[in-house]
Amino acid sequence: MTIRIGIVEDHPAMMLGTVAIVNAQSGMRVVAAAGSAREVLAQSQNLHVVLLDLALGDGSTPAANTRRLTEAGARVLAYTSGDRPQLVREAAQAGAVGMIRKTEPVKAIVDGIRAAFRGEVVAGADWAAALEGDRLLVDARLTAREAEVLALYASGATADQVAEMLFLSRETVTEHISNIRKKYLAVDRQAPTKVDLFRRAVEDGLVEAR
């Protein structure tokens, strides 16, 4: 399957360069590129991954743009110079699955897009640092056992594997995961997917960003 990619970027030279990088790769194609999220979605509603510049000149916010794109079914990667971590945090809280610096080597950009397409979190040191710096994140007050389950599950283990490692039943593990999600929801830190749980675990220092 060809990965259908959108690029939201209002600097023409950067946009042209990124389009050229992506279209030179096997199995991926830029199908929409514009200076705003609204324009990108007008070009295509069927996007797998969108690279989103966080500091656009149209007055839009990272949160609004991220929500608009994710609601259309795209996985959003913050595409940024990395010098304004508050914008990264805003995108993350709105559902972005990771961050790529515009100065990254071509391979890192391409690998990040492929990882996002697979549903993985694209979390480097900059991403983790931005989230860790957010003092507004509210403590979900997980129990010690819940934190243990979350750390293993969010790191990639299946419920069966977590059960085996912690000498629990699978049903107990799934109940813990359900309770963890409820606790995050109660403090407005929703975690409906495994990607979201990884993000919450990074935010709370339970796992390291990959």
Residues 121 and 208: beta-carbon distance below 8 Å: no
Percent with pLDDT over 90 in the chain: 53
Residue 94 has a pLDDT of 83
Q: Would you put residue 113 in left (φ > 0), alpha (ψ -120 to 50) or beta?
A: alpha
Q: What is the pLDDT of residues 9-61, one digit of tens each?
A: 999 999 999 999 999 999 999 999 999 999 999 999 899 999 999 999 898 99
48 to 3, 149, 180, 203: CA distances (angstroms): 6, 30, 28, 25
Straight-line distance from the first to the last Cα atom of the chain, in angstroms, rounded to the nearest whole number:
26
The mean per-residue pLDDT over the stretch 151-170 comes to 92
Confidence (pTM): 0.66
Where do we find the tokens 């507004």? 136
Mean pLDDT for all residues in the chain: 88
User: What percent of the chain stands above pLDDT 70?
Assistant: 90
Q: What is the pLDDT of residue 79?
A: 92
Q: What is the largest CA-CA distance in the chain?
A: 56
81-98 pLDDT, tens digit per residue, is 866 788 888 888 788 888
